Structure 1
Amino acid sequence: MKERLLQFIWQEKYFQLNDLVLESGEQLIIRDPGTWNHDQGPDFLNARILLDGTTWAGNVEIHVKSSQWYQHRHQTDPAYNNVILHVVWENDAPRLSASLPTLVLHHRVSAILLDRYEQLMQSGGQLVCQEWLPEITADYWAGWKQQLIRERIQRKAKDLLNLYKSCNHNWNDACWCWMARYMGSVVNGDFFEQVAKSLPSRIMARHKDQVIQLEALLLGQANLLKESNPDPYVQLLQREYQYLQHKYQLPELHGRMQKLRMRPTAFPEVRLAQLAMLWHQQGMFSRSWLEAEKLSDITRTLDITANDFWHYHFTLDEASPYQPKHTGEELIQQLLINVIIPYLYAAGVHQQQPALQQKAINWIGSLPAERNALIKQWQRAGATSETALESQALIELKKYYCEARRCLDCSIGRYLLKEPYHS
């Protein structure tokens, strides 16, 4: 038995409630189990119970073993003076239960609930509860996905607001770094953000009309222009970068781009060239994102093609067959989901405009679902998604609930553990 599971059982009253008797022999009726306390102090606050017909109001403490009351030194902590009930799985301190009302739940909890919880915790599958998912109704899924997508966007918005603070409360710099991070993908996102931080938006804006200079700044700061190269265009980039590095006293960054198991169209050189073209065609990011009335207005600005040199190159070193380096539908969707929409939500939080936050939710609900390996896995298990709102909710569920085995915090897990599984 885990204390968190015992707290869940008490909170939901998932135990036999008839003829409750304390270790001292008093009759117990639970009027209100109290409010779960996530801070310091007793586990549940403001509970109400009847002991032999007398009403008691106060707090409830939960332990697996009653002796943990002493182990945790609650007897000397004034915060526990108003505990009216000690709920335990096993009473191994009978002298304590003679003075502190104690309820033992060991024989009052359904074996079905305990078995299913153990199965969830021991599941070897990547999706913990996949064998039971057919039991979940569409309406129940819909409500949980709505909560999950808000958690996901709120978390990303919080990260963006922290970035905004670290950028001296400059939205242009924050959005520039945020865009760079997601253009770098999971593999190179951290280093792309470092590159962007070393090139403040005011510097990039000064060279907006010169895409070659923008490329030189980005490729140079990414340590991709250091080696000799016979190509005239690369030599031009090197000269431009040397001049601009000296002019702005740009810091040297330590690190290098990775290409492991990466498609050539996603190589860091290509993505940096596309970022240069985004600056060339669009300029400051945050203003246009916030002013856009429709998501399609932003989508058009993200549909760009890297400079002509990249039609014949995936890297600076080697030529390749002709292939213009468009951002493409998949990348644009990822930028909308991970960059634009979280920014809109963060701006709504920062400006205290709930309408902007709801607009972000509406926008993600208007995009088609992603079709990656994880979403296909959910689909095979019976959890479908038609919109990006649903697919992002499933990604959130897998990453922050399933992988951490937070079944007791998950609506699906709680559903599977609740009645009618009680005997």
Structure 2
Amino acid sequence: MAENLAENPAEHLAEGYAAGYAEKLVVVGQGRAGLPLAMRAVEAGFRVVGIDADEWRVKRLNAGEACVEGVTEGELAVAHASGRYGVSADYADAAGFDVCLVTVPVRMRHGAPDLGPLAAAAERLAPLLRRGTTVVLESTTCPGTTEEFLRPLLEDGSGLVAGEDFLLGHSPRRAEPGNPRWRLGNTPKVVSGVGAASLDRIAEVYGRLVREVVRVSSPRVSELTALLEDAFTHVNTALANELSVVAGQVGADPWEVIEAASTRPYGYLPFTPSPGLDVPCLPLDVSYLPWQVRRGGGGASRLVQLADDVNGHMADQVVSRLGLALNRRCRAVRGSRILLLGLSPIEVPKALCRLGARVRAAEPRAGEMLPPAGLEIVEATGPELAKADVVVVLSGDDCFDYERVQRTSRFVFDTRGRCRGPNVERL
């Protein structure tokens, strides 16, 4: 059942400061999931410590560099100026916490979830647990992780019992980078707990951070909710990707088709093609679903696996379509000067480099990625755009001026539907 905790986010924030919340809240992981959560908790009046194993990231964040998508340097500066935010790689700085939100990513490796990083975090947190403390797992993972994996580690390491001595639950992350309408504070938050006391406390904590809290009966329901949401996006993106392939074969613009279909007022939600599997979350998250089915002895989750196959081959489709587009302009991929706006999926720049293209890329998050050998990182300046034989839009981020990209470039191959014009070909 949803709980409307504040109709006006500004009023909700003011209530938090007026109440003088001074509880210590720790966020384990200061990446794309954890840092926005930490910023919101500072706004709500908590004393926040971010814990991250990446010492390079810790130094940059403490120096005021917003090195994570979704958080601006202005927001980070306000958090530091409050005196209630700091980042550390040492779990000793988490001691005395009241609430801990764990955002450690859980990856699929060799066909199964790799729970090693989560286990390492739990083992460091367990000795710090006290009676009454609250731990919430935000990681997207397979159903049962909170109760069957995290709970025993915390109980064994602390000597306390979840649901009685300390409070434990799961709340899936919901975020769409670049969406100006739905931010953390106004997006409904699903919460769950091990026992009624845990659920009440976790709902209260998130009630300070978001406008609406949605309670569910157990962490398993919460964990599976996250997988359903990601699988829904994954499967429908695969359908849009298949449409782009078919549309290219029959000479139609898939983006125009999608826009036309979007006028139907019922039974349709628009999804757009993508150049492949974005790093790091979506395809790995939804792979938990077929793994869980196999683990339970059931049949394969065929729909999700088919979507994996379609989306996993889109990088090849991008390279193939780009080659055909260059051929029509009497050029080969080998030797062409190609400017990529964005580096993900990384399979695209890797393939273009192998084919002998002179590849440059503009990528604000290049420091977090490992570009292939032979690729040069540049700024998307006017001269760079003008000199390229083709500019390839891989990123959908708003950090690029797509009107200028279309106006300045000789030819644009757009995989995200951000450009229009006679010199633009869209995936």
TM-score scaled by length of structure 1: 0.24
Normalized per residue, which structure has more helix? 1
| TM-score when normalising by structure 2 | 0.23
Higher RCO structure, 1 or 2 (CA under 8 Å, sep 6+)? 1
